[in-house]
A and B are shown apart, each in its own frame.
Chain A
């Protein structure tokens, strides 16, 4: 496992123009080259190079692909997977024909949608009538009960086609019941009169008719719902009629899009094509072979090691470690590491899990979280089309890890759903918190443990920083930075002095030469930071603003004051910050103790079990969330700030599959 960022090499290649298309396809197939503009390498030659004009506007393929994907979505079909992309089977693309195909499908769908709109309007009509009938708002309704003298019910329906109405003839009734809106009376009455409507004089029948009308309206709503479902099915079927063509089109569009992106990074002379880009060192041989084969040997390939170029221009990739993927996401959320530095992921995995375990030490609750993670992951894998709501598949994976950490620490501290069911491997955390003397430990012991934990984490951060600085050969910052050797020295001596002070019962700091050597020397050294930095910059040929002695001294003094304040207050605050690990752990115990007491007060039995179940659920949800967030904060702030500069450039090769990028999977 490589804990550093993946070593990269810069490729510059020249091939003949006639093999450009073949080379493009092979580069796409391999998918490892993160292109850079050739003109950046040789700006003075840039004027002699040209970029090939693309046949289509850059966005044409993307827009068309987006339209095709919309059709897939409408049909409830997933977008074709990148595994279907094959440069060998790619067809020449006539954009006009492609647009015509998509337009034809969309046009047909518009016609179906128009019918759907009519249905929607019908539903609104029926819904209003149903609402008034259900709420018995008869003041808005005209309910006619009677018979037609001229024509039949079909004629009534055709005459009233443009109105909101219901016409029924309940079973055993001779009369029809005609329901319309009172506000439409001016239009409806003349229509009804032409049919020689004979109204039943019994006004009480209107109320009797209401249930029949309601039933009829509900039936109509149901029918309209079914009709709408049929229309949606027709939409799906219409798209599926052309599914094969659309899938082929999507693949061709995507391939053309990607090849177009590659082509934009090619520069041309009269007869040659030049391109350049970064590739992981492990892929360099494969890439060279592929280019030589595509160019039939007629090519020039030059490699440049990343160490010869400015670090900030080198894209950063890290080795993909499948087990650590959830933690990679945590790191990615923060930033991209600088090239050549340590990949924080393995360290974050350990520190995050240990922190969480210390804050949420319970084997039973950890098991619940583990099971939640397993079930959630299984569910999301079975239903890949479902959009994750609050918790994604990666989060479920993280739950599995956190649950395991919690189980391990629960066993170490002897906590099982808040009860000491088995003896602890280390000490009884619960007993220590509540003050049982049998453990020989108390809350202060726990605080001490977490402070030591913090010291280890901060110390680890400093060591990682030194390693990074040594690799960068940045000797100045290695020595003088607040997270450098001077800062580390002060941190170490500060801890020694603090523990010595505590050891004397808060009475006395270490005597003798300790303090002058421990603190005096580095502080004097820090004072030399500004002049030393200036000297080194001048040695490297950098132009500096001329400054007088007085100004230099003032700069040195101010910088020194700031550095001293930052080092002392920063390290102190960072170290004490880890007390929150103890705080949360203690709070966890306190809550479980409280719920246990509440269960007793509830009289035990079923009521007690219910209290315990609810209590455990609440603790898992609230304390679990709290512990997760605090562990993240400690990593991001107390740990990362020691060594993670985060100025990296992302490695983004143009590849067939969308996941090619910073996490590269090592080839066997």
Chain B
């Protein structure tokens, strides 16, 4: 352990661990899963970091406002952690925060698309989106109110997303939709993250790159299954969806997958060598749908990440792992709360909510 690592991580370690200690435990989650109304749910969330949801719901009865608050909270947590670090570590956290910025950007662009291209009334929906600065100063209202796609490109001109936006034409958006633009935003974010992570010092860099490589692999697999099998995209288009990093895109199984006609593609063969457990699960699921297969891969990714991050929590405390673990646990907790809110609101039964939530 170096003095530098201790100085850098001692305080943030204590702070994040105390926040992790205050997260919802299994007993509380069980109580939440038994709730039959949103009022009960928020009553159970008193004395937790989610207590403000009670007041918001009491004032508005609007679950989209609740989701908006959850998103804003997530942004705030990320920016708080960025302030607790400095230098390249702070930049790395901000690069991770850009994921939320990209999510928000996609949501705002989708609103614009509905309104301007599809001529649908978006009405009050902009009010639910986050409209303050996340990382880059983006005028969200300007994007949502843009009369043309060029105005959006101009709005994003001083942001890292400028190139991605400019590379796609308005006519392509009008004919093909937002898929290519959104994919380009995702790849831009991931590429930015990769380049910042490469500048981290030794052990931190290795740790984060290992996590990103594994995430790349599994997300690429998800895209290959979803778009290569379900949507039968041709190989050249599939290649453009791939996130950089990881090892799956360097394998011969990947090349074969791209070259194989969509109807004959086999997810099991794709992952068999690098992820034999996953291949076995996919095989045991039988000839289930692409949605099912995608869900299996997502669940597998979740399990791997949970195992990895719990190991980081138990392991050496003075490295970037504590930050990654904290974000993972917060994301998981948020997912559970969102699932509960939506599940109860839409009248899902408890097992269905549990499947999504836990």
Which A residues lie at the B interface, using CB under 8 A?
A: 59, 63, 66-67, 69-71, 73-74, 106, 109, 113-114, 116-117, 119-125, 127-128, 132, 137, 139-140, 162-164, 181-184, 186-187, 228, 232
**In contact, A183 and B115 (Cβ under 8 angstroms):** yes
CB distance from A181 to the nearest CB of B (A): 7
Per the 8 Å Cβ criterion, residues 65-82 of B in contact with A are 65
Alpha-carbon separation in the docked complex, A162 to B121 (Å): 8
Question: Which of the residues A70, A127, A162 comes within 8 Å of B123, measured between beta carbons?
Answer: A162
Q: Which residues of A contact B128 (CB under 8 A)?
A: 124
**In contact, B145 and A67 (Cβ under 8 angstroms):** no
**In contact, A121 and B36 (Cβ under 8 angstroms):** no
Question: Which of the residues A119, A139, A163 comes within 8 Å of B121, measured between beta carbons?
Answer: A163
Alpha-carbon separation in the docked complex, A117 to B64 (Å): 10
Alpha-carbon separation in the docked complex, A276 to B127 (Å): 62
Q: A106-B37, A120-B62, A121-B123 are in contact. List 16 more A-B contacts (CB 8 A).
A: A66-B40, A66-B44, A70-B40, A71-B39, A73-B39, A74-B39, A74-B58, A106-B36, A120-B60, A124-B124, A125-B127, A139-B145, A181-B145, A182-B145, A184-B121, A228-B60
Alpha-carbon separation in the docked complex, A182 to B332 (Å): 40
17 contacts between A and B (CB under 8 A): A63-B34, A74-B39, A74-B58, A106-B37, A117-B61, A120-B59, A120-B62, A121-B124, A123-B60, A125-B127, A128-B127, A162-B121, A163-B121, A183-B144, A183-B145, A186-B119, A228-B59
**In contact, A182 and B147 (Cβ under 8 angstroms):** yes
**In contact, B58 and A232 (Cβ under 8 angstroms):** yes
Whose C-beta in chain A lies nearest to the C-beta of B30?
A: A59
**In contact, B34 and A116 (Cβ under 8 angstroms):** no
Given contacts A162-B121, A187-B119, A187-B121, contact A120 B145 (CB under 8 A): no
Q: Which residues of B contact A116 (CB under 8 A)?
A: 60-62
B292 interface contact, C-beta 8 A: no
Given contacts A67-B40, A182-B145, contact A128 B124 (CB under 8 A): yes
Q: Which residues of B contact A232 (CB under 8 A)?
A: 58-59
> How many of B's residues come within 8 Å of A, CB to CB?
27
**In contact, B43 and A117 (Cβ under 8 angstroms):** no
Q: Which residues of A contact B121 (CB under 8 A)?
A: 162-163, 184, 187
Given contacts A124-B128, A181-B145, A183-B144, contact A164 B116 (CB under 8 A): no
Q: Which residues of B contact A63 (CB under 8 A)?
A: 34, 36
Alpha-carbon separation in the docked complex, A232 to B144 (Å): 33
Q: Which residues of B contact A119 (CB under 8 A)?
A: 60
Given contacts A69-B43, A124-B128, contact A117 B123 (CB under 8 A): no
Whose C-beta in chain B lies nearest to the C-beta of A184?
A: B121
Per the 8 Å Cβ criterion, residues 115-160 of B in contact with A are 115-116, 119, 121-124, 126-128, 141, 144-145, 147
Question: Which of the residues B39, B119, B141 comes within 8 Å of A140, measured between beta carbons?
Answer: B141
Alpha-carbon separation in the docked complex, A636 to B60 (Å): 48
**In contact, A164 and B37 (Cβ under 8 angstroms):** no
Q: Which residues of A contact B123 (CB under 8 A)?
A: 121, 125, 162-164
Alpha-carbon separation in the docked complex, A281 to B145 (Å): 78
Question: Which of the residues B61, B119, B122, B126 comes within 8 Å of A113, measured between beta carbons?
Answer: B61
Question: Which of the residues A120, A140, A187 comes within 8 Å of B61, measured between beta carbons?
Answer: A120
Q: Which residues of B contact A162 (CB under 8 A)?
A: 121, 123
Alpha-carbon separation in the docked complex, A63 to B30 (Å): 12
Q: Which residues of A contact B144 (CB under 8 A)?
A: 183
